[in-house]
Chain A
């Protein structure tokens, strides 16, 4: 019996529908599966039903620790009307799964789930038609329940009997009817996550646990400075370490391969290497001048209505402010890891990459192979919040495996991860607003200074050092999203100045750009409201014309008790304030409103972030508890980023190389989170992985203003910075 099917059925607990499992699914299984289609428009690219009625889902979107494996399984089981425990999911395998795009941008349900649902609906209709022909009845007299077609005369046919060993090689039909959400049994339920029993018992196979026979261990010795060249190294310096297989040099790429992991680590530490000097980073204290002085390649105007310059010139009051947001690292708790194996000229690379299909192209380019000669297989890693270093570990493993002619596993050390993963770039925003003689906001302007590029290919570190092309381009992510505002103001112009460079190779970290832009937008809107003596909630309601957004804000007001909140005492040594922020994510999807309650110590500058209230409308909810888990994670992780995180560097290299020099939030500092989930089963399902995060910086900043009258416009809000602002006020 397959381990994937031994699951227990539904049981009722705590009044809610809970589904539990007795098994340990082996998500990392790599059994040889015969070639199958992966085209985006074919049902059998996404779904297979075997002779035992087990359904396999092939998902290009992967579970980065968000629980989306479970949610996608719910979607397919629901639409296909098969038991949840008969569905298993294979993810992110370039040989097996369709390329549904990178797992980023809070799009796994919104795009990936919707594609799977349509494929399942197409399959469902086709299966009912086959059953109808077999039973010689009309298809609309049949129902489908738990994988069995039931006729009006109670005649029954199991799905597997309908298709035998055939595949569902039909085109996905966008018009295939979807189930009415009123009849949902699984979607909308807090089904327990499939992966958690294995993760709490040590039975789950993470990427970091994955092995292949004959595998060696590799480590890479990074340059002493970012742009340093390898002058020389002395292999005799590691002669005393047993089990060294090879020292591999490719220009400035220097790696060691050993029979054991500890030998590789010791060799990495002990190998005597001479690097050239390099110190071309800007001085860190001049970071913001550097950003402002960097060459602008082009301007992206993200919104432009009316005549903002004219309206500003004729305004009765003008406000302006500059916001900035520090460089951040991804900081996964588990450093990046990959295993690479060459077999007959074909590379297989196991990786926790969020983008196995793109990684395949990059590895192929780096190794001068064809894309078809590279297979990338996803295995869950430590939490991934954007393009971190998984792809770079994959490049290291591939280069070392090729050099030694054997499979090689590379896991980065902590200092590799902090020092060499791509960074969330420093972000600077200039904001301006005009108030007319009627007290209306008549003009809004913003200028964003951000590296050029999109969420494209980020160059692989190992390839760069080895002098190989990995298709890399400046790729900070979709960072100009969220610069345009959701409010109706007559004259608006928002412009992104796209910079030619940034000190560290950039990439996207959770809510890239949207977080920084929302920080400036929602804080500056708060500044305007304060200037006008308006309540922050009423000001937003006045300038919003979106009924769904207004409803959300009203629910947030009730949830948080906004209208009866206590008045802060600006003269007390410790005072508590409330701040509000709102978004309609990228102006087209998930609505979120957040209220933060924070206590500020005026003397020490310490901020205690006490509570967050979140009203969240992502349309149709697949798994409410999964959404709550994501919202809590959005809040807590972003509180960490806002309160503590800032990458430190010398003019040669990153100096925040571990958790002591790049501290993150710890348990006693974690706020409470109170959530109002607005479920709209008949609407499209949108994402929940990012939108709440975008609001946390502004909500805290606005709470601090409410508590003290002081504006925080520079992330992170560390005590010395807060103290300085208070002393200046």
Chain B
């Protein structure tokens, strides 16, 4: 059985998997018990599964585990209830959640984006989040939360 050396949320882990094509998502959720990334479509169409690989937001539902090289960060690695990332703080402050199933993707996509674009316009945020789907209609608050985090200086 092939073993892959990964670094997830700052910890080295060995992934013993029999199929290098298995998407990273299943390893994170079922082997590491990380529930930030979520299965939404398995097609890279909705964004619920988003994690960072070497700082870039990727769709873990279509990202083969055999291709992962470098550092993986999930929502849990971004911040904790006791030590919130400014985006997580902003999503709470703006109450930018309805069901919350998509929120992992919103925060992870925005976190990578703000690193690149620390002071975005609202339109830039909307454009960046275009591929992330929300069904409850929380978009207005999500954009507000990202702008709030940007103003707080997340990306700096």
Asked whether A201 lies within 8 Å of B76 as measured between CB atoms, the reply is yes
Q: Closest A residue to B129 by CB, please name it.
A: A667
Contacts of B142 in A (CB 8 A): 667
Kindly identify which residue among A66, A200, A668 contacts B130, using a CB–CB cutoff of 8 Å: A668
Asked whether A65 lies within 8 Å of B100 as measured between CB atoms, the reply is yes
Report the Cα distance A246→B32, complex, angstroms: 26
Asked whether A667 lies within 8 Å of B81 as measured between CB atoms, the reply is no
Asked whether A333 lies within 8 Å of B84 as measured between CB atoms, the reply is no
Kindly identify which residue among A199, A414, A664 contacts B42, using a CB–CB cutoff of 8 Å: A414
| A658 on interface, CB distance cutoff 8 Å | yes
Kindly identify which residue among A66, A200, A383 contacts B135, using a CB–CB cutoff of 8 Å: A383
Report the Cα distance A188→B92, complex, angstroms: 19
Interface residues of B, count at CB 8 A? 59
Asked whether B97 lies within 8 Å of A332 as measured between CB atoms, the reply is no
Q: Closest A residue to B76 by CB, please name it.
A: A202
- A637 → B minimal CB distance (Å): 4
- A25 → B minimal CB distance (Å): 11
With contact pairs A200-B92, A334-B39, A668-B126 given, residues A629 and B138 touching in the complex (Cβ less than 8 Å): yes
Contacts of B80 in A (CB 8 A): 201, 203
Report the Cα distance A664→B97, complex, angstroms: 18
Asked whether B95 lies within 8 Å of A260 as measured between CB atoms, the reply is no
Contacts of A649 in B (CB 8 A): none
With contact pairs A659-B41, A667-B139 given, residues A197 and B98 touching in the complex (Cβ less than 8 Å): no
Asked whether A629 lies within 8 Å of B141 as measured between CB atoms, the reply is yes
Asked whether A637 lies within 8 Å of B39 as measured between CB atoms, the reply is no
Q: How would residues 128 to 140 of chain B score, 1 for a CB under 8 Å from any chain A CB and 0 otherwise?
A: 0111111111111
| B103 on interface, CB distance cutoff 8 Å | yes
Report the Cα distance A611→B108, complex, angstroms: 28
Report the Cα distance A331→B82, complex, angstroms: 34
With contact pairs A197-B81, A659-B41 given, residues A192 and B140 touching in the complex (Cβ less than 8 Å): no
Asked whether A66 lies within 8 Å of B98 as measured between CB atoms, the reply is yes
| A633 on interface, CB distance cutoff 8 Å | yes
Asked whether A201 lies within 8 Å of B45 as measured between CB atoms, the reply is no
Report the Cα distance A384→B101, complex, angstroms: 11
Asked whether B35 lies within 8 Å of A261 as measured between CB atoms, the reply is no
| A208 on interface, CB distance cutoff 8 Å | yes
Asked whether A206 lies within 8 Å of B140 as measured between CB atoms, the reply is no
Residue in A201, A206, A383 with the greatest tally of chain B CB atoms within 10 Å:
A201
Asked whether B138 lies within 8 Å of A333 as measured between CB atoms, the reply is no
With contact pairs A202-B104, A636-B137 given, residues A65 and B41 touching in the complex (Cβ less than 8 Å): no
CB proximity to B under 8 Å, residues A197-235: 197-206, 208-209
| A447 on interface, CB distance cutoff 8 Å | no
Report the Cα distance A202→B91, complex, angstroms: 13
- B25 → A minimal CB distance (Å): 9
Asked whether A673 lies within 8 Å of B22 as measured between CB atoms, the reply is no
Report the Cα distance A481→B93, complex, angstroms: 38
Contacts of B103 in A (CB 8 A): 199-200
Report the Cα distance A665→B129, complex, angstroms: 12
Contacts of B143 in A (CB 8 A): 667, 670
Q: Closest B residue to A638 by CB, please name it.
A: B137
- B50 → A minimal CB distance (Å): 12
| B113 on interface, CB distance cutoff 8 Å | no
| A530 on interface, CB distance cutoff 8 Å | no
Report the Cα distance A382→B35, complex, angstroms: 13
Report the Cα distance A552→B79, complex, angstroms: 44
Asked whether A632 lies within 8 Å of B137 as measured between CB atoms, the reply is yes
Contacts of A636 in B (CB 8 A): 137-140
Asked whether B139 lies within 8 Å of A414 as measured between CB atoms, the reply is no
Q: Closest B residue to A671 by CB, please name it.
A: B140
| B152 on interface, CB distance cutoff 8 Å | no
Asked whether B35 lies within 8 Å of A209 as measured between CB atoms, the reply is yes
- B11 → A minimal CB distance (Å): 15
CB proximity to B under 8 Å, residues A353-386: 380-385
Residue in B74, B92, B131, B136 with the greatest tally of chain A CB atoms within 10 Å:
B136
Report the Cα distance A202→B39, complex, angstroms: 13
Report the Cα distance A31→B139, complex, angstroms: 36
| A469 on interface, CB distance cutoff 8 Å | no
With contact pairs A192-B92, A201-B79 given, residues A382 and B127 touching in the complex (Cβ less than 8 Å): no
CB proximity to B under 8 Å, residues A57-85: 64-67
Q: Closest B residue to A413 by CB, please name it.
A: B42
- B61 → A minimal CB distance (Å): 10
Asked whether B39 lies within 8 Å of A335 as measured between CB atoms, the reply is yes
Q: How would residues 306 to 335 of chain A score, 1 for a CB under 8 Å from any chain B CB and 0 otherwise?
A: 000000000000000000000000011111
Kindly identify which residue among A201, A208, A632, A660 contacts B75, using a CB–CB cutoff of 8 Å: A201
With contact pairs A334-B101, A414-B42, A636-B140 given, residues A202 and B135 touching in the complex (Cβ less than 8 Å): no
- A80 → B minimal CB distance (Å): 25
| B107 on interface, CB distance cutoff 8 Å | yes
Contacts of A242 in B (CB 8 A): 18
| A262 on interface, CB distance cutoff 8 Å | yes
Report the Cα distance A381→B102, complex, angstroms: 11
Residue in A66, A204, A205, A635 with the greatest tally of chain B CB atoms within 10 Å:
A204
| B38 on interface, CB distance cutoff 8 Å | yes
Contacts of A333 in B (CB 8 A): 40, 46, 48, 99, 101-102, 133-135
Contacts of B130 in A (CB 8 A): 666-668
Asked whether A632 lies within 8 Å of B135 as measured between CB atoms, the reply is no
Contacts of B102 in A (CB 8 A): 333
Asked whether A201 lies within 8 Å of B81 as measured between CB atoms, the reply is yes
- A509 → B minimal CB distance (Å): 11
- B97 → A minimal CB distance (Å): 5
Q: Closest B residue to A242 by CB, please name it.
A: B18
Asked whether B100 lies within 8 Å of A411 as measured between CB atoms, the reply is no
Report the Cα distance A104→B64, complex, angstroms: 40
With contact pairs A632-B140, A667-B126 given, residues A261 and B30 touching in the complex (Cβ less than 8 Å): yes
| A560 on interface, CB distance cutoff 8 Å | no
- A409 → B minimal CB distance (Å): 10
Report the Cα distance A223→B23, complex, angstroms: 26
CB proximity to A under 8 Å, residues B25-73: 26, 29-30, 34-36, 38-43, 45-46, 48
Contacts of A666 in B (CB 8 A): 130-131, 133
Asked whether A414 lies within 8 Å of B43 as measured between CB atoms, the reply is yes
Report the Cα distance A381→B136, complex, angstroms: 12
Report the Cα distance A508→B142, complex, angstroms: 28
Asked whether B97 lies within 8 Å of A632 as measured between CB atoms, the reply is no
Q: Closest A residue to B43 by CB, please name it.
A: A658
Q: Closest A residue to B36 by CB, please name it.
A: A202
With contact pairs A64-B99, A204-B100, A667-B143 given, residues A260 and B132 touching in the complex (Cβ less than 8 Å): no
Report the Cα distance A431→B17, complex, angstroms: 62
Residue in B19, B81, B103, B131 with the greatest tally of chain A CB atoms within 10 Å:
B81
Asked whether B88 lies within 8 Å of A411 as measured between CB atoms, the reply is no
- A446 → B minimal CB distance (Å): 29
Q: Closest B residue to A190 by CB, please name it.
A: B95
Q: How would residues 652 to 666 of chain A score, 1 for a CB under 8 Å from any chain B CB and 0 otherwise?
A: 000000111000111
Q: How would residues 115 to 156 of chain B score, 1 for a CB under 8 Å from any chain A CB and 0 otherwise?
A: 000000001011101111111111111110000000000000
Q: Can you list 5 A-B pairs, Cβ within 8 angstroms, ordered by A? A: A199-B100, A333-B46, A382-B135, A660-B45, A667-B142
Binding site for B on A (CB under 8 A): 22-24, 64-67, 192-193, 195-206, 208-209, 242, 260-262, 265-266, 331-335, 380-385, 411, 413-414, 625, 629, 632-638, 640, 658-660, 664-668, 670, 672-673
Q: Top 8 closest A-B pairs, CB basis?
A: A65-B99, A636-B137, A202-B36, A199-B100, A383-B99, A382-B101, A633-B137, A637-B137
